Amino acid sequence: MGYGKKIYEEARGQLELSRRKAEELAASQTEAFYQKCPEARKVKEEMGANAARAAKAVLHGGNVRAEIEKLRDRGLALQAEYESLLARHGYTPGDLQPRYACPLCQDTGVVDGRMCACLKQLQRAMAYESLSMNAPLEKSTFESFSLDYYRDDPRALHQMQNVLEACQRYAANFRSDSPSLLFKGATGLGKTHLSLAIAGKVLEKGYGVLYGSAQTFAVALERERFDRPDPDTPTDANSQLMSCDLLILDDLGTEFPSQYVNAALYHVVNSRLLAAKPTLISTNLNMQELENRYSDRFASRLAGFYGMLEFIGHDVRIEKRRRPRPQ
C-alpha cells in the first residue's frame, strides 16, 4: 500500500502515542488501587517473584516437575487472591488493564509479523486528510459534477456524459495496475474536479493517492535537487511520486519550464509505466504542444500508453458565475 514514508511514520507515531497513553492510564489507575489496597501491591510483587522463580526452574532443567507444579499452584492462588482484592474494591480484572484503541495489535501496528488493519486504516485516513488539505476533495465528487452546464450543446453533453461514466468506472474498478489516463481539454472543463472525484473514491478503496498540480511537484523536485546531501539517494518527493498507487498530476504544462523538472517528470512517467503503476495526468496542451514542450519520447509515452479522455465544452467556471449552481 503506497502512502509514502511520511504518512507511514506519522501513522506509526500516532499509534505509539495511543499505546503509551493507554498504558500510562492503566498504570495510574493501578497505582490508585494500590493506594486504597496496599495488600494488592504486595500480592502483585509476590506474583512477579513467583513467576521469576518458575522461569528459573524451567531453565535449570533436570527433574524439576514437582517444583514447577508447586510454583504454578502458588501462582494461581496469588492470582485468585489478587482478583478477590480487586473485586472487594469494585474492580473486574479487565478494569486495570490498558485499554488499547486496537486490541488486536495492542496499538503496535503489527500482528503476527504483518501490518495490522488499524495501521492501514490510519494511513488511509491520514492520506485522505492530507489530500483534502491541499485540494477540495469533499466538494469535488462524482455526485457534485454537474452536466447542466453542457445542456445547450448536445455534442458536448454527450461527450461529457461519456467522460463522467468512464471516470466513475475507472474509480470503481481501480486496482494498483489499472491503466494510466490522460485528461485533455481546455481550462475550466472539470478536469480537476473529476481527478479529485477519482482520488476520493480510490482513497476510500484503501489505495495510496498522491495528488498535486504539476507546479507543486516541480517546486518539490527543484527544492530537493538543491537540498539533497547525496545525489545518488532517491529524494523524498521522487520516492513518493514513485511509490503511491495512483499519482495524479494536475495541470501539466502550467509549471515553470525547467529542463531538470522535464527530465524528472519523464523519469516518473516512464518508471511508473514500466512498473505498471497508474498515473493520471491532466493538461490543456495538445499532443504537438506536449511534444514541443517536453520531448518526443515523453509525448509518445502518453500517446501510446495512456487512455485518453477528451473534455469539451465551455469554461464551466464562467458558466457557473452566469448560472448559480442549482441546490
Provide the minimum distance between the beta carbon of 105 and Zn ion in the complex, in angstroms, as a whole number: 3
Q: Pairing state of beta strands 110-111 and 306-310?
A: unpaired
Residue 2's alpha-carbon distances to 206, 239, 244, in angstroms, are: 10, 10, 4
Distance CA 286, CA 184 (A): 7
Distance CA 247, CA 60 (A): 59
Q: Report the residue from 118, 182, 209, 309 that binds Zn ion according to the rule CB under 5 A.
A: 118
Provide the minimum distance between the beta carbon of 93 and Zn ion in the complex, in angstroms, as a whole number: 22
Provide the minimum distance between the beta carbon of 21 and Zn ion in the complex, in angstroms, as a whole number: 15
Provide the minimum distance between the beta carbon of 128 and Zn ion in the complex, in angstroms, as a whole number: 19
Residue 127 vs 194, nearer CB to Zn ion: 127
Residue 97's alpha-carbon distances to 26, 30, 64, 152, in angstroms, are: 6, 8, 33, 66
Provide the minimum distance between the beta carbon of 102 and Zn ion in the complex, in angstroms, as a whole number: 3
**Mask of contacts with Zn ion, 88-117, x by CB under 5 A?**
--------------x-xx----------x-
Residue 116 vs 281, nearer CB to Zn ion: 116
Residue 115 vs 157, nearer CB to Zn ion: 115
Where in 7-119 does DSSP place strands (E)? 110-111, 114-115
Residue 54 vs 105, nearer CB to Zn ion: 105
Q: Scanning the structure block, which residue is given the C-alpha cell 513467583? A: 50
- Interaction with Zn ion in 252-271: which residues (CB under 5 A)? none
Nearest by Cα to 193 from 129, 156, 127, 138: 138
Q: Strand, helix or coil at 227? A: helix
Provide the minimum distance between the beta carbon of 183 and Zn ion in the complex, in angstroms, as a whole number: 38
Q: Are 211 and 280 contacting, i.e. CB atoms less than 8 angstroms apart?
A: no
The site that binds Zn ion (CB under 5 A) totals a number of residues, namely 5
**Mask of contacts with Zn ion, 61-80, x by CB under 5 A?**
--------------------
Residue 116 vs 247, nearer CB to Zn ion: 116
Residues that bind Zn ion (CB under 5 A): 102, 104-105, 116, 118
